[in-house]
With several copies, the nearest count.
Chain A
Amino acid sequence: DSTVHVYAAASLTDAMNDLVKTYEAAHPSVDIVPVYASSSTVARQIANGAPADIYFSANEQWMDWLGKQGVTLTERRDLLKNHLVVIAQKGSQIQSFIPDKDHRLDNYLGRNERVAVGDPDHVPAGIYAKQALTSLDQWQALEPRLARASDVRAAMALVERGEAPLGIVYATDAKASDRVKTLGAFPDGSHPPITYPIAEIGSPDSTTEAFYQWLQGQDAAQVFADYGFGPAKLKQ
């Protein structure tokens, strides 16, 4: 009986849970333990000796940071890719649009209304949103009108609850909720690619290695795709 601890970014929760279930069904002797928290928390924990076998981050920064802490990252890969989209509540009157230089988000906001985002100071999705808005020349106008949430899901909850007419979240999140609709995705060039790097911690045993390889395989890719993730271009 062997156990694999996977420390994953919170945004991967649903997809990973699904994958774990599938893998465990196929490998009854293997116990996959997924641990979800924000990428930063997870990174810190691993740096402090958390019994992680695999780290699955939502951005490259924390993976890089972990590497600098002296943690051995084996076979680091960029596994997934995500998109940033603008969402609105399901019944919203707002029509779909591509958020670009011509479609300014503030045009869709009424008095005192805000755009829900993950906190651009620390939540990766928020950081991407800031970069996108900046490159689209909307940051200045929108910054004071952001509703900054503690994580992407909280931002989406604000839209679901109608607190904010618009929200900026990952495509995967928008897809998972049936109480929001996607208005449009930010153009690819407006922000750095949203990549999910994955790595093994230290020298992996065979069980870990098997699961790690399986995650990169075709079956897993299909599940990730079902949850809205795209495959990242392999970068060595």
Chain B
Amino acid sequence: MLTPLEWEALQLSLKVAGVAVGASLVPGIALAWVLARHTFPGKSLLDGLIHLPLVLPPVVVGYLLLLAFGRQGVIGQWLARFDIGLPFTWQGAALAGGVMAFPLMVRAIRLSLEAVDVRLEAAARTLGATRARVFVTITLPLALPGVLTGMMLSFARALSEFGATMTFASNIPGETRTLPLALYSVIQSPGREAAAARLCLISIAVAMLSLLVSEWLARRSRRRMEGRDV
């Protein structure tokens, strides 16, 4: 059904977006929590920094990533000591996708965390739960819809990431040529509309699936709590 090239791009996309989401989940939750529940000097700065990838054109973000993680970048040189090179690798694509998707994840989770009833957290603490236990057993489960939404949004965003990936990780078939890069290539060639449409549909299908899964999970977690809701 799918051509080998499409397969390759699809698998790569899933890997890249999956790793992007997986790797940014924990820091995403942590940052969302810090931003939702604490005030400290420099909070706005941190908040702004997290939102940067949303604000800048992706190509610029890719370029900035190159500045940081490139061969001559500060972090890049440090990573090179461990023989880790991110540009032109699928890990780099995941980094680009993760960075671009990060603000969406943090925002969604933060919004949900802010909606968690802190009185329940207080009740848990009076029952002897440490802050960490409260977070894991009360806050996080109650913010689950937001976490799922955050994961879904950032998965979708990472899946569709083009500009930053192209700039930072290049468009290497089998390595960094994800679905959007493949799609872009096709679109830029005259007369390949049919191929473009196919790739488009594949992207849509994957995203729809992730959407459905996240909605289903969210609904399930909500249903557990159902009862008298009005």
Direct contact between the two chains A and B in their complex (CB within 8 A): yes
Tell me which of B88, B187, B188 contacts A45 (CB under 8 A).
Answer: B88
A176 located at the interface, meaning its Cβ lies under 8 Å from any Cβ of chain B in the complex: yes
CB pair B172–A122 under 8 Å, yes or no, is no
User: How many residue pairs bridge A and B at CB < 8 Å?
Assistant: 141
B66 located at the interface, meaning its Cβ lies under 8 Å from any Cβ of chain A in the complex: yes
Tell me which of A61, A112, A148 contacts B171 (CB under 8 A).
Answer: A148
CB pair A13–B185 under 8 Å, yes or no, is yes
B63 located at the interface, meaning its Cβ lies under 8 Å from any Cβ of chain A in the complex: yes
- Do A150 and B163 form a contact, CB below 8 Å, given A35-B170, A51-B88, A119-B171? yes
Considering the complex, give the chain B residue whose CB is closest to the CB of A122: B188
CB pair B88–A44 under 8 Å, yes or no, is no
CB pair B185–A44 under 8 Å, yes or no, is no
Considering the complex, give the chain A residue whose CB is closest to the CB of B173: A33
A91 CB to nearest B CB, Å: 11
List residues 15-73 of chain A with CB under 8 A from any CB of chain B: 17, 33-38, 40-45, 48-51, 61-62, 64-65
A123 located at the interface, meaning its Cβ lies under 8 Å from any Cβ of chain B in the complex: yes
Please indicate the chain B residues that have their CB under 8 angstroms from the CB of A176 in the complex: 189-191
Tell me which of A114, A149, A153, A161 contacts B188 (CB under 8 A).
Answer: A153
- The interface-forming segment of B44-52, B67-75, B218-226 is B67-75
B68 CB to nearest A CB, Å: 10
Mask: chain B, 34-70; 1 = CB below 8 Å from A; 0 = not? 0000000000000000000000000100010011001
Please indicate the chain A residues that have their CB under 8 angstroms from the CB of B146 in the complex: none
CB pair A163–B70 under 8 Å, yes or no, is yes
Please indicate the chain A residues that have their CB under 8 angstroms from the CB of B191 in the complex: 65, 176-179
Interchain residue pairs A-B with the least CB separation, the first 3: A122-B188, A177-B190, A49-B71
Query: 13 extra interchain contacts, Cβ-Cβ under 8 A, other than A48-B70, A48-B73, A162-B70?
Result: A11-B188, A33-B173, A45-B88, A48-B87, A49-B88, A147-B88, A148-B171, A163-B66, A163-B70, A163-B88, A176-B190, A177-B190, A178-B190
